[in-house]
Amino acid sequence: MKLSGLIAKSDGSIVRGQVSFEDRITALDAVTDVDDHYILPGFVDLQVNGSHSIDVMNASPDLLATLGRHLAREGTTAWMPTAVTAPIEKIAKVHDSIAAAFENSHSDTPADGAAILGMHLEGPFISPFRLGAHPKLNLEPRGDAFERVLAMRALRLITLAPELRGGLDAIRRLTSRGVVVSIGHTNATLDEANAGIDAGARMFTHLFNAMRPLNHRDPGVVAAALAQSPAIPAIIPDGVHVHPAMLRLAFDARGRSGLIVVTDKVALAGTSGSEKIVGRARATIRDGAARLDDGTLAGSIISMLDAVRRMVQTVHVSIGDAAVMAATNPARLIGANDRGCIQIGARADLILLSRTLELKAVFIGGRELN
């Protein structure tokens, strides 16, 4: 198959051309007379707690597949089901469902939904001072609970607080096993955050949220995230979790190659707004996000396409740069180097957007979704 249009490259540039593909991209040719739409790599969302009434914490493998189909029709072609703080027995059950769904999504059957890339475990090894909507079931990253998590075969990404006792050793052990460690839900000082990076941490979970705030005399973890380093901050561009001016500040500090867009969406996303249990308590949609009764933010209700639109239309980054942050960077972070980019040999996970950023078509493995 062939598509022509304005192609988003992994360096942020937009070029006129034609993409030829089967299940993978076979050729890229320069063409001047092209269709009037953007061709972007499918989005890769590293933090999805739920959507369309499906909660990752309670979902069977079949329901996770259904959630993946919803995501695909929003332009997301790969994702990480994200488990939150819970008793270790509950986390183990969630892991088993994700592992089964992962195996199913990588079978030989043609995909009609977003591929699962493994589990993101957000907790329980987080700071008691920065729980956000998480229940008070946080643990130190050591002992039997940590050993059980370390052995989880589908674990690919974990959020933890490096300042906790055993935190740096946990980061080293996780990274040696191939798990990406993200600093988040943390009260770390600047020095503690940098020690986490030195130990191997390579991401920051939802920058500015559930972490020690930036202060000119106590820079804290935010200063570590905004500085140039191997660790890339992920950010939620819903206009609620982070003010657009701070989104721009983060982009100016780190650039297109140093920022990842995530949704951190929850089961209330894509619904009419009926209440759901999120983390430690009941949540409803209020003022543009999911919130607990006390007003605590409990996740977003946006899609990755919504996030990209906000980055382009409100933060004023280019569509090419937004595509890098929403597809290329997250894929590279977790080693999925054949995703999130438009180049020969990459998977033909592609989306077409109109010039006004309306979704026109989604291709997964070269197959157009109905």
Query: Looking only at Cα atoms, what is the longest distance across the chain?
Result: 62
Q: Which of 177, 224, 179 is nearest to 198 (CA)?
A: 224
What lies within 8 Å, CB to CB, of 80 at 6+ separation is: 45, 46, 47, 48, 116, 117, 118, 119, 120, 156, 157, 334
- Tell me if residue 264 is catalytic: yes
Give the integer Cα–Cα distance in Å for 251 and 178. 28
Measured from the Cβ of residue 170, the count of other Cβ atoms closer than 10 Å reads 24
How would you classify residue 287: left for phi > 0, otherwise alpha for psi between -120 and 50, otherwise beta? left
Phi first, then psi: give them for residue 300, nearest 5 degrees: -100, 175
Please give the full DSSP string across 263-327, using - where no structure is assigned: --B-TTTTSS---EEETTEEEEEETTEEEETTS-B--B---HHHHHHHHHHTS---HHHHHIIII
Catalytic choice (45, 264, 306, 349):
264
Q: What is the dihedral of CA 42, 48, 54, 56, to 10 degrees?
A: 130
Contact 220, 213 (CB under 8 A): yes
Residues acting as catalytic residues: 264
